[in-house]
Amino acid sequence: MWFLAIFFVLMHIVELSNGGVTSNYVRKPEPSVDMPIEMFPPPAGHNAPEQVHITQGDHEGRSMIISWVTPLKHHGAVIYWEAEAKDSNQKKCKVRSRNTSYKYHNYTSGHIHHATIKGLKHDTKYVYELGQHPVTRRFYFTTPPKVGPDVPCTFGVIGDLGQTFDSNQTLEHYISNPKGQALLFVGDLSYADDYPFHNNERWDTWARFVEKSTAYQPWIWTAGNHEIDFAPEIGEKIPFKPYTHRYHVPYQASKSSSPLWYSIKRASAYIIVLSSYSAYGKYTPQYDWLEQEFPKVNRKETPWLIVLLHSPWYNSNNYHYMEGESMRVMFESWFVQYKVDLVFSGHVHAYERSERISNVRYNITDGLSTPIKDASAPVYITIGDGGNIEGIANSFTESQPSYSAYREASFGHAILDIKNRTHAYYTWHRNQDNEPVVADSTWFFNRYWYPEEEHN
């Protein structure tokens, strides 16, 4: 009888279908409410630095881009030093920032500073200080270890965050996990464009909101549709204007011609960031770059090949269904050829993990248009569940397609814990649970070094 009892308990937890698991967890159907703008005042003090965020500044992990905003124009600089230097007389170093600002409709930004610290030691904690005496602010970060095939590293993964009370729960939940060393952000940051005239003050409040994480560990940025800010009706005709002024990435280090697509190496991972909202047809800059980029990936040096892009290719939610299809048609054969391990996307405000599948056989005459299991294909993870103001995407297609391994309409974040060249442990954490509780988890086997089928 005991096994019957366990069976019924399991049936209660999950709903079985011809695909994978559709979680029976039901998030309360309440709207996501924005945190009031007053919750994020600028820091105290004359011309205090604010909105501090950092990202990897080169291809190898020995540079860091430090970005911040000051209300008034001045020559900014970062002062930095090793946190635990053996030599107590260690000299403090200084790097000047390059300043920019922009206007958007009736909004004028503060002075946006970007400073790149170069020549850092690997695996070392640094303290850095911003501001002018006596109004200074201190932060710290730890550089990644030297790139190598068995170097462990742990990434957080968040998408479509916004600035609601749910967004705050997602971010606090992630910060409570002590293992996250860098964050893979899959696009849609502030949702400022959901406000009248794309109220760019919401770009400021968002950067103040996330500073508790972005000032201390690099966030690897991907652009989503809420970064486009193309609004000719109010005279704004330059796409990505606020985003590209505020968020710098090391795109030139990977020979890219645009900050919207680029790559970095970090520990044992090679991360390629693509833009769902830039041209990707044949002969376009992004297409040409990616064609040249994939052959450069040396899996003997960086076994884990990970792609970030905003609009998912495989997703069984009715929201934004098939919006990523044209990009899939252009690039999927390369992803299979070069054995991409994982693809993280956002856009759909729910969580879903796919099987390893591809749909590259179809050639418009052969009728072979169904995704099939493919050991060379990536796992596709949709993680647009950061909790933004647009609410949850709670309408999945029925029945669950065979390519869908797990799906759930709630907010959360993920942790990707790369152990060595063959194994990575992946967990997804819904906001309603404590951090140690895992709602979805699996071991990923590396496609180059250990291309066996994973057992979920």
Structure tokens at 361: 């056989």
Query: Is the Cβ of residue 215 or residue 383 nearer to Fe ion in the bound state?
Result: 383
Near Fe ion by CB under 5 A: residue from 208, 265, 347, 349: 347
CA distance 363 to 369: 8
Distances (CA, A) of 399 to 192, 359, 407: 35, 19, 12
Tell me how far apart the alpha carbons of residues 456 and 228 are, in angstroms, rounded to a whole number.
37
Q: Within a 10 A sphere around the Cβ of 193, how many other Cβ atoms?
A: 20
Asked whether the beta carbons of 331 and 363 are under 8 A apart, the reply is no
| Residues 367-396 interacting with Fe ion (rule: CB under 5 A) | none
Element (H, E) at 445: strand 440-445
Is the CB of 161 or the CB of 272 nearer to Fe ion? 161
Task: State the minimum distance, in angstroms, from the CB of residue 184 to Fe ion.
Answer: 16
Question: How far apart are CB 349 and Fe ion at their closest, in Å?
Answer: 8
* 101 C-beta neighbours (distance < 10 Å), count: 12
**Min separation Cβ 315 and Fe ion, Å:** 12
Q: Which of these ranges, 59-67, 223-231, 323-331, 336-344, lies near Fe ion under the rule CB under 5 A?
A: 223-231
Binding segment toward Fe ion, per CB under 5 A, in 12-20, 40-48, 339-347, 366-374? 339-347
- Window 91-110: contact mask with Fe ion (x via CB under 5 A): --------------------
Q: How far is the CB of 346 from Fe ion (least distance, A)?
A: 6
Stretch that binds Fe ion, among 17-25, 61-69, 220-228, 256-264 (CB under 5 A): 220-228
Span of 47-55, 216-224, 288-296, 412-420 interacting with Fe ion by CB under 5 A? 216-224
Shorter beta-carbon distance to Fe ion: residue 188 or 417? 188
Token pair 């179809």 is found at 362
Cis peptide before 134 (omega within 30 of 0): yes
Say if residue 399 is preceded by a cis peptide, omega within 30 of 0.
yes
* Site for Fe ion contains 162 (CB under 5 A): no
Contacts of range 372-376, beta carbons closer than 8 Å, 24 or more positions apart: 374/336, 375/447, 375/451, 375/453, 376/336, 376/337, 376/339, 376/447, 376/451
Total residues contacting Fe ion (rule CB under 5 A)? 4
Q: For 113, how many CA atoms within 13 A lie in the half-sphere containing its CB?
A: 25
Beta carbon of residue 180, minimum distance to Fe ion (angstroms, whole number): 23
Cα→Cα distances 247→214, 218, 339, 351, Å: 11, 12, 30, 26
Pick between residue 328 and residue 421 the one whose CB is nearest to Fe ion: 328
Minimum distance, C-beta of residue 407 to Fe ion, in the bound complex (Å):
18
For residues 254 and 315, which CB has a smaller minimum distance to Fe ion in the complex?
315
Handedness of CA 450, 148, 222, 27 (dihedral sign): positive
Q: Which stretch binds Fe ion (CB under 5 A): 203-211, 251-259, 347-355, 438-446?
A: 347-355
Which residues, in sequence order, are CB contacts of 89 under 8 Å at separation 6+? none
- Residue from the set 58, 129, 166, 188 that interacts with Fe ion by CB under 5 A: 188
224, 250, 303, 324: residue in contact with Fe ion (rule CB under 5 A): 224
| Continuous segment of H or E residues that includes residue 335 | helix 325-337
User: Segment contacting Fe ion (CB under 5 A): 38-46, 275-283, 298-306, 344-352?
Assistant: 344-352
**What minimum distance in Å lies between the beta carbon of 453 and Fe ion?**
32
Q: Are 400 and 175 in contact (CB under 8 A)?
A: no
- Please select the residue that binds Fe ion; options are 51, 164, 222, 225, rule is CB under 5 A: 225
Catalytic residue among 173, 226, 248, 320: 320
Of the pair 225, 263, the CB lying nearest Fe ion is at: 225
Catalytic residue status for 74: no
The residue (of 143 and 225) whose beta carbon lies closer to Fe ion is 225
For the residues of 256-324, what is the DSSP string, one character each? -SSTTSEEEEETTEEEEE--TTS--STTSHHHHHHHHHGGG--TTT--EEEEE-SS-SS--BSTTTTTT
Q: Which residue is nearest to Fe ion (CB)?
A: 347
CB 446 within 8 A of CB 422: yes
From the CB of 95, what's the least distance to Fe ion, in Å? 34
CB atoms within 10 A of CB 24: 11
Choice between 58 and 188, CB closer to Fe ion: 188
What residues are labeled active site? Answer: 320
Query: What are the residues binding Fe ion (CB under 5 A)?
Result: 188, 224-225, 347
